[in-house]
A and B are shown apart, each in its own frame.
Chain A
Amino acid sequence: MKLNEKLYTLATIVENKPGVLFRTANMFRRRGFNIESISVGTIEQDGLSRMTITVYADEDTAEQIIKQLSKLIDVIKVNVLDEAEIVKRELALIKIQIQDSRALTELTNYCNIFRNRIIDVSPDSMIIEVTGTPDKVDAFVQLVQGYGIREMARTGITALQRGSKK
């Protein structure tokens, strides 16, 4: 992130049909913008999906990104979420090595403190589900790194504006 850049979270409502993700992502590539994270899923209205896209950008670039996104015909609406009024979540599944029973105890304790869930255990590894702000996921990943992360899957950020404002 450069000095004058900040994080923008763009809630982008798009047509749910083939090629839309390609067209959207390709616009970023073609114009030299970088996507920090992107998550896509269906929404409450039929035929539409929501892409939550985060980017680091300065003000002018952000404005251009929003305009270029809005210009795409399959994009119905772009909302810039107000960072102060936002609920952000990310899901991570982390498979961690269990060296011994001490590690098992420690990891279980950490999960309790972080309010994570252990969703699978095998003799030498466990899968932990972490849900929370990206910061929380980062913090937990850092904490358990020493135990040996075998595999990890993160969804990228998804977000909603608080309250009644749509």
Chain B
Amino acid sequence: MVKMSGSQALIQGLWSEGVRAIFGIPGGQIMPVYDALYDSEIRHILARHEQCAAHMADGYARASGHPGVCMATSGPGATNLVTGIATAYADSSPIVAITGQVAKPFIGKDAFQECDTIGIVTPITKYTLQPMEANEIPEAIKKAFLIASTGRPGPVLVDIPRDVQTGVSDISIPDKVEVRGYKPHVKPHPLQIERAADLLLNADKPMIWSGGGVIIANAAPQLRAIAELLLAPVVTSLIGKGSFPENHPLSLGPIGMHGRPEANKMVCETDCLLAVGVRFSDRSTGRFEEFCQDASIIHIDIDPAELGKNKKPNLPIVADVGIALNELLAAIKRKLAKREETAWSKRVEEIKEQFQNSSFGESKGYQPQIVEKIREILPSNGILTTEVGKNQMWGELYYKVIEPRTWITSTGLGTMGFGFPAAVGAKVAKPDVPVVDLAGDGSFRMTENSLAVCVDEHIPVTVVILNNSSLGMVEQWQRLFHDRRYSAVKLSGSPDFVKLAEAYGAQGFRAQSIEEFEKVFKEAIKSDVATVIDCPVAPEEDVFPFVPPGRGLKDILYGAESA
């Protein structure tokens, strides 16, 4: 027990959780914490908007696997975090958000900058805590990190009244905490594992659908071993890209609305689907009723509520994906030494051959080429984040992710403006690898103020803008489904992005051709200042193939003429 303030206890608690960087913005009701931070070795990165602070913490978490921390003051500071917290919640990313609150005597009195932060974030957090005495802070922090980072990860918010931050008390930092109602079920039932192995081994056309849960559980090696033993092709969800190397002969890429056609086609043919760490998102499956109608589905997930939520599996297994895949691999190994080439594995080769180098839409334009060029130049451990829109979908289709945690994108919430601050967070977590944000002009303008953070804090990330002067994805939908009635999609009035970058003290380039792009991109990723590469592209270049909303995965459109 040592006499200290609540704020000092908070900083010590964060330090003992391994926190070395915090993304945030100070303000009236969190100033005692910032005062304590002054004496600490924790790096504080001053975001220019709290939404970016939350996305940075999220990017940090996804790149590193450790919880990211963001901090804001009460009222507008806290409410600005909301989009970032909801994004992390939708994608099961572990962030801990710390917010200041007005002093206890003012709570409920509509004090200046008071808002019911806990009430606002309850539906978009895994848990919330509000310590009401200084000596409750260390335990609250420990609980926050435990809950955020274990089981199915997610955001946890800790709201601390100002007088609790300043309160001085005899405080000790606990080594361990118990949360009575929180016991994630991690061990799979052995009989279910045996049954899963038998189902997969007896199937003629086994297939694996791998999701974000595999990346979270660091279970990519086990997944790969199972796929190779079974000669089962692997498809992923959008967030699951990187859970299986996409340059592997058994990889078919992501399924879904803008998934690879070979993946969507083959998932309609499988007779036994092993779905691991996925939540059967409608964007992945298309119409639930049509999805894998004739296949038996084995679903492994740590969150019991995901099993049967959207699609009833034949064999549901609640477990930590890593442990379950380890045991499944052992069970398969006991029953199978090596599998020779099958009709199904030949079909995989065939279909890959058919689609790998084909172009979709009217022309294989400039945008897919840029995306492929980024892949060609970035090392396999280089990190690509994306914004939301066409840029993301081109990334999904054309960017082959090799290693886990090198593809960071907002899938569940689909948050425009996510990619750039997430790239900043990822670069803080992994300063030695190049980090690139694949952006659209619409998304980039939502959080471009993170350029100031990059320059100020020497965080050299590269932003590649596929600049079509429009809200391109919406425009594409209006073209295809709203009879070309373009409503509010033209983004005129954007600044010159090269000059904008320079105005911030960053580096700006314009690339008009793939050759120019290659040259400046190589320079950018080696540069020690943040770089924006503006690539003016045609707005009419649509993203194909495309499974229209509300349809099954077999109804793929390859171009506008089939829409």
Contact = CB atoms under 8 A, between A and B. Distances in A.
A50 to B, nearest CB: 14
Interface in A38-75: 60, 63-64, 67-68, 70-75
Nearest to A77: B181
B305 A67 contact: yes
Contacts of B182: 73
Interface in B92-134: 118-119, 122-123, 126-128
Interface string A14-42: 11000100110010001000000000000
Contacts of B339: none
B312 interface: yes
Interface string A74-109: 111000000000000000000000000000000000
A165 B124 CA distance: 37
Given A60-B308, A71-B304, A71-B305, A15 B180 contact: yes
Given A19-B118, A26-B122, A75 B181 contact: yes
Contacts of A23: 122
A74 B127 CA distance: 9
Nearest to A68: B305
Query: Chain A contact residues (Cβ within 8 angstroms of B): what range?
Result: 10 to 19
A64 B309 contact: yes
Given A15-B180, A64-B308, A71 B122 contact: no
A22 B180 contact: no
Nearest to A14: B181
A67 B122 CA distance: 18
Given A63-B308, A64-B305, A64-B309, A72 B122 contact: no
B181 A72 contact: yes
A124 to B, nearest CB: 40
Contacts of B308: 60, 63-64
A26 B304 contact: no
Contacts of B307: 67
B441 interface: no
A14 B123 CA distance: 18
B119 to A, nearest CB: 7
Interface string A100-122: 00000000000000000000000
B108 to A, nearest CB: 12
Contact of B304 (A14, A15, A70, A73): A70
A67 B147 CA distance: 18
Interface in B143-195: 147, 179-182
B303 interface: yes
Nearest to A67: B305
**Candidate in B118, B127, B147, B305 with the most chain A CB atoms within 10 angstroms:** B305
Contact of A30 (B123, B180, B303, B304): B123
**Candidate in A14, A26, A30, A63 with the most chain B CB atoms within 10 angstroms:** A63
Interface in B274-323: 303-305, 307-309, 312
A76 B179 CA distance: 10
B122 A73 contact: no
A76 B181 contact: yes
Contacts of B118: 19
B161 to A, nearest CB: 13
A60 to B, nearest CB: 7
A99 B122 CA distance: 51
B312 A60 contact: yes
Contacts of A14: 181
A13 to B, nearest CB: 9
A22 B119 CA distance: 8
**Candidate in B179, B304, B307 with the most chain A CB atoms within 10 angstroms:** B304
Contacts of B123: 26, 30
A73 B147 CA distance: 9
A76 B304 contact: no
A67 B119 contact: no
Contacts of A26: 122-123
B181 A74 contact: yes
Nearest to B304: A67
A157 to B, nearest CB: 23
Contacts of B304: 67, 70-71
Given A19-B118, A22-B122, A76-B180, 6 more contacts: A19-B122, A26-B122, A67-B304, A73-B127, A73-B181, A75-B181
9 contacts: A15-B180, A22-B119, A60-B308, A64-B309, A67-B307, A71-B303, A71-B304, A72-B181, A76-B181
Interface of A: 14-15, 19, 22-23, 26, 30, 60, 63-64, 67-68, 70-76
Which 3 A-B pairs have CB atoms at the shortest separation, nearest pair first? A67-B305, A76-B181, A73-B182
